[in-house]
Structure 1
Amino acid sequence: MCSSPLFFENSLCVTCRTGLGYSRDERQIVPVDLQGRYVDATGLIWHVCRNLDLSGCTWLAPLEGGQCFSCALTRTRPNDADAAGIANFPVAERAKRYLIAELDDLGFPVIGKDAATGGDPVDGLCFDLLSSTDRNVVIGHDEGVITIDLAESDPAYRERVRGELDEPYRTMLGHFRHEVGHYFEWQLVEKAADAGLLARARELFGDETVDYQEQIDRHYADGPPAGWEERYLTMYATMHPYEDFAETWAHYLHICDTLDTAVHYGLISDERGSRSFRELVTEVWVPLSTALNAINRSMGKDDLYPFVIPAPVLDKLEFVASLRP
């Protein structure tokens, strides 16, 4: 390989034309031979994922003609006759790969539901990526099953919904980060057998046992409570304690990933190991996001991070950060 820079989604070096794949075990972009194979440091042979042409997947699979770990987490996808669904499918799969790579970097365990591949049918994770061209799709999480509406891959559709809901930010990656927050609250807080941890979560986010449907109805009938900006990141977070946690979790991932990218490109020094997460937010993230917002405005774009982080949200972010293994 040459010394040209590579990016997460590269399947080919644009300079020397070497085939590439992402090795999840090594967390590296690695070269593959003309047959799409890569031999790792232990001598195991890996293969280009079979979904490279379908979804643009660049991850490596353990079996020739097989799926990579990320693709195997998708339980349901559009059928081949669904042109709109198939067209939107790659955007969702790309967001999922970014999500899993970040969770890996942070040390959060990602386990599938398929017992045949070492997963856990009860506590594992899977994704239903559904096309709303032929059904009503509700984005959500239920006992490890995350449902995503592929229509959200369409920028025009997503922007229309964002405007209707008066949201400052709406992306496919944001959906994945939010919904996996529900999963990890279920796994790391509710099922942790740690009464103190659950009590602290309820102190910060509220009692998650309150009726969810009643809270949804209240939210859409009355809107957020007065002064919500002093205690929440978003209006949606005010709907229910579950949504407050998931919104906070998503922002924790937003912040971690953006800081990691900024360090990689030399925009900031790497001081993450010497600071608490609260300090990272107040001393590094806030100045950086302010600068990035100003850069976006210089280009006539909306703010990159259009949020204000009040003191109670700092406590919530610190709680989420404490769940990191």
Structure 2
Amino acid sequence: MQLFECQNCGQTLHFENRFCGRCNHRLGYVAARQALVALRQGGELWFPIDAPHESYRFCANAEHDVCNWLVPAGGTRIFCEACSHNRTIPDLSVEGNLERWRRIEDAKHRLFYSLIQFGLPLVTRAEDPEGLVLDMIADPDDPNADKVLTGHASGLITINIAEADDAERESRRTGMGELYRTLLGHFRHEVGHYYWDRLVRDGDPAVLEQFRALFGDEREDYAEALNRHYAQGPAPDWRERCISAYASAHPWEDFAETWAHYLHIVDTLGTAGAYGLRLRPDVDQAGELATRIDFDSYRGQTIEALVDAWTPLTLAVNSLNRSMGLADLYPFVLSTPVITKLGFVHDLIASAQTTGRNG
């Protein structure tokens, strides 16, 4: 995630900022040029001070302070590039749901920042029967009714809004024996299933064969594989070939977990680069842990270059967390087979990049 600068006063800005902390200018995000801009108001419209000929309205969800993205004033759209994929939002008459929705939207907007940065195809359900659409819903009041499961099905990503409560999410993480569980991680994982459908299943047959060679045959019965995973635990050798225990359950889950971790790596490296981080521990006489993150992690790098920068960065941030008495920020190990799978995702995204919103 890049840093931004207020065009009025030069203050450093962050992606979620609504107002400049120094000059108090209203801020809005223009996805088309990936810019957080300071605004001047003229009637019902807003004008970036660095491009006063452009005019915008805020996304309709700004009314609830869950979105700071802008929509071009000349069109008919009322929702931004991220919120146009919402189908169901939480019931805001229920106490606490507005705050849950805000947390979910913060994570969702970071997801869409990455998808747009990559230039990946994005279509809504209105544009395609299997377009990307989001339901953010709560468990039913009836304790005997089925719980809402976070997951993906034919372009529909469902998020149980209970995941926005830190205590509840941590309880689920420990109950399921997971090393990591966040809202952003959920979004990145589930959208991985969506892009498997679009880029692997519906793509070049040669890509599908390459996928099967690396991840396994997805035609294995999915329900049976998950039942076996939950009944017997992960495959004994999962650490050698998968990024997580859950990834060993089925090739679809292996791909989605790998996809999510690729987005973790690229976006975190982008943030580290934005802060000008450089690593060269004094104890590392051979330079094996040295890294200088002075490249655009979203463009033009090989998977080897990304992993070479990522490995020392994770060692550093994990050490920082331990110094604060916290768990490791990135509690995973990238084995050689996992790096190869990350390379598959890297190449898949590079080959799928587009200049506009299309399928």
TM-score by length of 2: 0.84
For residue 306 of structure 2, the aligned residue among 265, 280, 283 is: 280
The aligned counterpart of 2:14 is 7
Matched residues in 2 for 1:73 and 1:163: separation? 31
Q: Which residue matches 2:62?
A: 52
Provide the rounded CA distance (Å) in 1 between the counterparts of 2:106 and 2:201: 29
CA positional deviation for 1:140? 0.8
- The letter of the residue matching 1:161 is R
Alpha-carbon contact 1:38-1:45 (below 8 Å) kept: yes
| Structure-1 separation of matches of 2:251 and 2:139 | 28
* 3-state SS of 1:147 partner: strand
> Which residue of the partner structure matches residue 307 of structure 1?
332
In structure 1, the partner of 2:200 is 189
Cα distance, 1:41 vs structure 2: 4.8
Task: Check whether the contact 1:59–1:68 (CA below 8 A) recurs between aligned residues.
Answer: yes
Number of residues of Structure 1 aligned to a counterpart in Structure 2: 318
Alpha-carbon deviation of 1:278? 2.5
3-state SS of paired residue (2:333):
coil
- C-alpha separation in 1, matches of 2:54 and 2:21: 27
1:20 corresponds, among 27, 32, 37, to 27
Is 1:129 aligned to residue 136 of structure 2? yes
Hey, what's the Cα distance between the residues in 1 that align with 2:346 and 2:136? Answer: 28
Aligned twin of 1:74? 86
1:166: how far off?
A: 0.8
Stretch deviating more after TM superposition (146-155 or 135-144): 135-144
Which one has a larger percent helix, Structure 1 or Structure 2? 1
Aligned to 1:233: 243
Residue 323 of structure 1 aligns to a residue whose secondary structure is: helix
60-69 or 43-52: which moved more? 60-69
Q: Does residue 163 of the first structure (1) align with residue 188 of the second (2)?
A: no
Shift of 1:133: 5.3
Pick the aligned partner of 2:345 from 317, 320, 323. 320
Q: Deviations over 1:147-184 (max 9, x none)?
A: 01111000000000000011111000000000000000
For structure 2, the residue ranges without an aligned partner over 5 or more in a row are 1-7, 278-291, 354-359
SS of corresponding position for 2:217: coil
Partner of 1:210: 220
The answer as to 2:50 corresponding to 1:30 is: no
Q: CA RMSD in A?
A: 1.9
1:145 matched to which residue of 2?
A: 156
**Percent same amino acid among aligned pairs?**
43
Aligned residue runs from structure 1 range 92-107, under 5 A: 92-107=104-119
* Cα separation, partners in 2 of 1:42 and 1:144, compared to 1, 3 Å: farther
- Give SS of 1:69's match: coil
Question: How far, CA to CA, are the matches of 2:300 and 2:199 in structure 1?
Answer: 25
Secondary structure, in 3 states, of the residue corresponding to 1:21? Answer: strand
The one-letter amino acid paired with 1:78 is P
Deviation (angstroms), 1:36: 5.4
Aligned to 1:117: none
Query: Is the contact made by 2:269 and 2:293 (CA closer than 8 Å) also made in structure 1?
Result: no
Q: 2:256 pairs with 209, 233, 246, which one?
A: 246
Q: Deviations over 1:187-222 (max 9, x none)?
A: 001001x22110010111111111111011101111
- In structure 2, what is the Cα distance between the partners aligned to 1:41 and 1:3? 16
Which SS does the other structure have where 2:13 is aligned? coil
Preserved contact between residue 85 and residue 131 of structure 1 (Cα < 8 Å) = no
Q: Distance in 2 between matches of 1:160 and 1:233?
A: 22
CA displacement at 1:38 relative to structure 2: 2.4
Shift of 1:76: 0.4
The residue that corresponds to 1:112 in the other structure is: 124
SS in structure 2 of the partner of residue 156 of structure 1 = helix
**1:50 Cα offset (Å):** 2.5
The 1:223/1:321 distance shift into structure 2, 3 A limit, reads: same
What secondary structure is seen at the aligned counterpart in 1 of 2:319?
A: helix
Amino acid at match of 1:296: N
Distance change >3 Å, CA 200–CA 100, structure 1 → 2: same
Deviations 1:70-111 (A, max 9, x none): 112110012232223333111111111000011111121222
TM-score relative to the length of structure 1: 0.93
